[in-house]
Structure 1
Amino acid sequence: MIRLKKGRYVARTAQTPSDLRAAQALRARCFGLETDSDAFDDRSTHILVRRVADDALVCCFRMMPLTGATISHSYSAQYYELSALEAFDGKMVEMGRFCVDPDAADPDILRVAWGAMTTYVDDTGVELLFGCSSFAGTETADYLDAFAMLKARHLAPTRWLPRVKAPKVFEFAARLRHKPDAKLAMLRMPPLLRTYLMMGGWVSDHAVVDDDMNTLHVFTGVEIGAIPPARKRLLRAVAG
């Protein structure tokens, strides 16, 4: 069981049905839904980040263990054709439904969440962390510099590249030709995706247009063995 206390926040593994209901309620609020639960919840470990002062839930996410043989059963596989990753020889975990209470904006929340994730990865021997990284809204014009930056610097290796499966996608790697404005690109990049990229993460060559969730998202992977040593030290310092 994970329990990590840093400053004003504590991250721990959900233990009870009420813990899960609290996470689902926060997700629904963050995603603008009436409810948010699915079949993947029962197959996942849920991490909750609470504020010590009042025990308020400020962040949650779930971790679902998989292998190459079972990656087709992941949440992401609903939207991406992932057969290339069936050849990945190692443990995987899909991190999903990551959300932070918009009324509790504090960079320390994200740091504690990543510390808990690092503990999970180290404890279970995970070699590939992956998930869907979401941009708010479905207007691709809002994020052209960010997508151009992903094309220029962060596309998945060819051997792992997800192929198109969803009916509505933005194939940014094929369509964009301009050089990105680096500053604007990073300003428009979602915080979770920025963190993945700082760890050496890579993305699909297309974004899924998800009208139900009102998001654009890219498949994102991080090979644990390829994380820069300095970044690993920072993450483990938080987790320690």
Structure 2
Amino acid sequence: MPELHKGRYRVRPALGEDDLRAAQRLRWLCFIGDRHGMDDPDARDADAHDALCRHLLIEDSRSGQLAGCFRLLDLESGADIDSSYSAQHYDLERLRAFPAAMIEIGRFCVHPAHSGSDILRTAWAALTRHVDAAGAGLLFGCSSFPGTDAAGYEDAFAMLRDCHQAPPRWLPRMRAPEVVRFPPPPRRPDASRARATMPPLLRSYLTMGGWVSDHAVMDRALGTIHVFTGMEVSAIPSSRARALRLLAG
């Protein structure tokens, strides 16, 4: 994937171990260090899936600072779904029938010193190029809610339950040992509070027709609550698809 420049930021692939370590360091800072006020210059977030993925770095063109990062896992079809990170947390047997190429997006994070909205737009520009080049039919991943206290997310989870449930033919089933069930009806979500507590990447998915699992899972090692998220490329509204391709151009 070639470099992409958008205003202040550029996206480029990680080119070696130093780049990968920088991404792992930023991931630790965003998911663990910054949330808990910890400072450990040697700490990194790393797992076995790093070796399977391509890693993309989002850099500030002015300072050269690493402002964000994410990783991509390309799958030829749903038959390969068990090799994904998400399959550790969800039973994705139903998605094995998905006939087209798939891309798992993971570990998206933004340095606390940078604007998330500008970086998110830059990331979507790079993703759009990659989706078109790969001919992917589905984007998916685990959207991460910060922390491990589900009590703050009742409105978000209720809105996901009511408005954004996966089609039955793709709906993930339970696998994780610690599951967070969405609030049962008749709880009605406060829409503004729900949107305010959703991760920005998840909100982007949902505005393009994305869908989610019917439950969340607890990841205490990473300090997050994951919600499986999928988006069929063919279901993206045509106006939004045109806007993404203009952004990627």
How high is the TM-score relative to the length of structure 2?
Answer: 0.93
Name the residue aligned to 1:86: 96
Query: Secondary structure of 1:195's partner?
Result: helix
Query: Secondary structure of 1:231's partner?
Result: helix
Name the residue aligned to 1:65: 74
Amino acid paired to 1:206: H
Contact 2:145 2:226 in 1 (8 A): yes
Within a 5 Å distance, the mapping from 1:19-34 to structure 2 comes to 19-32=19-32, 34=43
Contact 2:31 2:146 in 1 (8 A): no
Contact 1:50 1:58 in 2 (8 A): yes
Q: CA deviation at 1:214?
A: 1.4
Please state if 1:123 is matched with 2:142: no
Q: CA deviation at 1:177?
A: 2.6
Name the residue aligned to 1:103: 113
Structure 2: unaligned runs, 5 residues or longer = 34-42
Within a 5 Å distance, the mapping from 1:170-189 to structure 2 comes to 170-172=180-182, 175-189=184-198
Q: CA deviation at 1:2?
A: 2.6
Please state if 1:215 is matched with 2:224: yes
Name the residue aligned to 2:165: 155
User: 1:5–1:177: structure 2 CA closer, same or farther, 3 Å change rule?
Assistant: same
Name the residue aligned to 1:9: 9
Name the residue aligned to 2:153: 143
Name the residue aligned to 1:224: 233
How high is the TM-score relative to the length of structure 1?
Answer: 0.96
Structure 1: unaligned runs, 5 residues or longer = none
Q: CA deviation at 1:92?
A: 0.5
Deviations 1:19-72 (Å, cap 9, x if unpaired)? 111111111111216221122112111111100111111010011011211101
Contact 1:2 1:119 in 2 (8 A): no
Query: Secondary structure of 1:159's partner?
Result: coil
Amino acid paired to 2:93: S
How many pairs does the alignment contain? 239
The percentage of aligned residue pairs carrying the same residue is 54
Give the distance between the partners of 2:185 and 2:100, measured in 1 at CA.
34
Deviations 1:74-103 (Å, cap 9, x if unpaired)? 100000000000000000011001110011
Amino acid paired to 1:93: I
Which stretch of structure 1 is more off in the superposition, 101-110 or 6-15? 101-110
Which stretch of structure 1 is more off in the superposition, 27-36 or 54-63? 27-36
Query: Secondary structure of 2:96's partner?
Result: helix
Q: CA deviation at 1:16?
A: 2.0
Give the distance between the partners of 1:23 and 1:84, measured in 2 at CA.
32
Query: Secondary structure of 2:27's partner?
Result: helix
Give the distance between the partners of 2:131 and 2:116, measured in 1 at CA.
24
Q: CA deviation at 1:176?
A: 4.3
